[in-house]
Structure 1
Amino acid sequence: MSVGGDLLHGEDLEDDLLDEWSVRSIVTTLVPLLAVLSVLQMVSGTVLESYEEQLLKNPALLVLVPVMIGTAGNLGSIMCARLSTQLHLGTLEFSPSNPNIRANVGAVLGLAATVFVLLGLASWGIGRALGGTLGLGTLLLITMVSGMLLAVWVVVVSSVSVYASYRLGYDPDDTTIPVVTNVCDITGVLILFGVVGLVL
């Protein structure tokens, strides 16, 4: 491993890695980040509360919200983990022409398309059981459009988070997943109800 043209061997490399992975280093990186993200979570809850009337009127949407934002966080975690691993292996180049980037984006979007169709069907069935009136076609349209928009947003946020962490000298394994899951919570709600407002 080389840093600034100097090779690190044996004990020097071990000391460098231990310093990077020390409890103190991880805590000083994550505590400020988690404090900021906690505030973002409170904002997300406030935004969700503003749609309370619409959620109670359409039980299928009430079922849809937590699963959709949870799914977006999971997709973001997958994307971040794959990019971080490739970064550590030295095989990642941040370029749209990079086949590794395209493969990761394709995998996330393909998984999102599959999951959000199943999510639409499940939320429709549960919504009907709870007395909801939204039709299957309408709910699938809402789920697919908002889900795929959110998946594209997840790809963008994940890529930017990994790149920014790398450029700032942080380990993407420590920082990116909390950032992506929290950002997707609030944006997932906004995207979902933006689509609901256009469809209904």
Structure 2
Amino acid sequence: MAVIGAEIRAELGEKVREAYRVTLPSLFTSQIFGLFGGTFLGKYFDVIMKQFPGLLVVLPGIMGLRGNVFGSMASRFSTMLYLGDLEPSLRDKKVLKEIVLRMLISLIPIFLLWAIGVATGIKKNAFDVLLIVVTSTILVSFILGYFTSFVTIFAFRRGTDPDSVAAPLVASMGDFLTVPSLVLFILLIEKSPGGFRLFNYAMIALFLIVAAISRVRKAEFLELRQVFITITGLALLSTISGSLLARFSGIIQASLILSFIYPALLSSFGNYGSIIAAKTSTKLHLGEIESFLCPKAFTDIIALFTTTPVIGLTKVLIGGALMALITGNPIPRSSYIVVLTYPFMTLFIMLYAYALSYFMFKHNIDPDHVAIPLISNNSDIFGTLYVVLMAKLMVGG
């Protein structure tokens, strides 16, 4: 027992060093991406809330969808690389096919999200909202697909575990691209409706050309039907987050700083959960986790938990600095509530991610296909509830 305990302590020490050497930099980088997107959201939150309210309903779903789709792609590539099923090169034909398949998987849920928003009575500029989200989905998915492939393959070729770095970078790059692209398309519609229509047609043409080049077959799409069903179901589930965001948009805007760090908060919760899910999935496939309470399995969670105070504090400081720069308002003193509670919210999500991945695998469901998308989506719901609660504590009411 003493020997086993010593081995676990040694492994925990190594995992903590890895968390600070490898994962923390990627989490911090992803945080910068998320805060960049949050800056756009914070600055134009009032415009979106008043002129394009339908975007608030679909925004969490869009953010979660891209993290789900390409986060699971990164995890799938990681497993394939370790098993030798994918060449560590962007030239492998499977890379382009996977990107096109992920584009296809993304478009239908996007339309459903928009339709639900319209059905719930949010009809102002509804057609423009549809064009915005479709165009953004095609453009961002194309960029994000190659970014995901590059990060995963590059990490693997450098001898770094892709599961430690890919999920946070991919999800946060999605946030980095999502909100600014939506805002830029809003500005383009207001300035030149005809120009935006032309750009919309160009994106559709790009999608068709890439699909033709990749030669995706129906059978290959059907192989990912489990992912598609999961992604679509989760996109519909994300309307909970969207409805909460739209309903409490006033109090979130009143807190000010939360409207700036909202994307970064959601992405970081999803990042931590996705890292644990990806690591758990890989270990389960390799037979390294024998039981649910396997001590070695929890070393990853403990190691990552030690990084959460750093991420939580810098999130508030950097987000607050960007808010002050743009609005001239100082960081609210009540922001300390976020700093204190953030680590424990993150710990809850990591434990949830581990449990979900473990039990899905035991029921013959591949965590790469289902667990990571589900965790990312649930993290958005938990995160939005967390933001609403923080806003109420900070503002009152």
TM-score normalised by the shorter chain: which range applies? 0.7 to 0.9
Question: Does the CA-based 8 Å contact 1:92-1:100 persist in structure 2?
Answer: yes
Mapped pair 1:49 → 2:39: no
1:71-110, aligned counterparts within 5 Å?
A: 71-93=65-87, 94-96=89-91, 98-110=92-104
- What's the CA shift string for 1:28-64, capped at 9, x where partnerless? 3212322333333333322211111221212101222
Question: Does the CA-based 8 Å contact 1:56-1:62 persist in structure 2?
Answer: yes
Amino acid of the residue matched to residue 111 of structure 2?
V
Give me the identity figure in percent: 24
Residue 157 of structure 1 corresponds to 147
SS of 1:51 mapped into structure 2 = helix
TM-score normalised over the length of structure 2: 0.41
Distance in structure 2 (CA, Å) of the matches to 1:44 and 1:95: 27
TM-score normalised over the length of structure 1: 0.77
Residue 61 of structure 1 corresponds to 55
Which ranges in structure 1 are unaligned for 5 or more consecutive residues? 1-17
Number of residue pairs matched by the alignment: 177
Question: Does the CA-based 8 Å contact 2:38-2:179 persist in structure 1?
Answer: no
Amino acid of the residue matched to residue 196 of structure 1?
I
Deviant stretches of 4+, over 3 Å: none
Residue 383 of structure 2 corresponds to none
Residue 169 of structure 1 corresponds to 159
Residue 119 of structure 2 corresponds to 125
Amino acid of the residue matched to residue 166 of structure 2?
T
1:101: how far off? 1.8
Distance in structure 2 (CA, Å) of the matches to 1:160 and 1:99: 14
Pick closer, same or farther for the CA change 1:39–1:99 going to 2, 3 Å.
Answer: closer
1:180-191, aligned counterparts within 5 Å?
A: 180-191=170-181
Question: Does the CA-based 8 Å contact 1:80-1:177 persist in structure 2?
Answer: yes
Residue 30 of structure 1 corresponds to 23
Question: Does the CA-based 8 Å contact 1:124-1:134 persist in structure 2?
Answer: no
Mapped pair 1:196 → 2:193: no
1:25: how far off? 4.8
Pick closer, same or farther for the CA change 1:176–1:95 going to 2, 3 Å.
Answer: closer
Question: Does the CA-based 8 Å contact 2:74-2:148 persist in structure 1?
Answer: yes
Pick closer, same or farther for the CA change 1:36–1:105 going to 2, 3 Å.
Answer: closer
1:67: how far off? 1.7
SS of 2:160 mapped into structure 1 = coil
Structure 2 counterpart of 1:148, from 122, 135, 138: 138
1:152: how far off? 1.1
Distance in structure 2 (CA, Å) of the matches to 1:99 and 1:186: 27
- What's the CA shift string for 1:80-110, capped at 9, x where partnerless? 11211111112212244x3322331232011
Q: RMSD over aligned Cα, in angstroms?
A: 2.3
